[in-house]
Amino acid sequence: MGDLRSAALAYVRAGQVRAHTVATPPGAPAPVLVVATVHGHNGRYQIVYDATRPPEDRWSCPCRHSDLCPHIAAVGLWAGHPGLAARTIPERTRL
Ligand SMILES: [Zn+2]
The pLDDT value given to residue 83: 64
Tens-binned pLDDT, residue by residue, of the chain (95 aa): 568 889 999 999 999 999 999 898 898 877 889 999 999 878 999 999 998 998 888 899 998 666 678 999 999 888 887 666 665 555 444 44
The pLDDT value given to residue 62: 92
Q: How many A from CA of 26 to the centre of ligand 1?
A: 29
This prediction's pTM = 0.78
Buried b vs exposed e over 50-76: b needs ≥16 C-beta within 10 Å? eeeeeeeebbebeeeeeebbbbbbbbb
Three-class DSSP category at 33: strand
Q: How many A from CA of 67 to the centre of ligand 1?
A: 9
The pLDDT value given to residue 68: 77
Which residues have CB under 8 Å from 21's CB, separation 6+?
Answer: 33, 34, 35
Neighbours of ion ligand 1 (CB under 5 A): 45, 61, 63, 69, 71
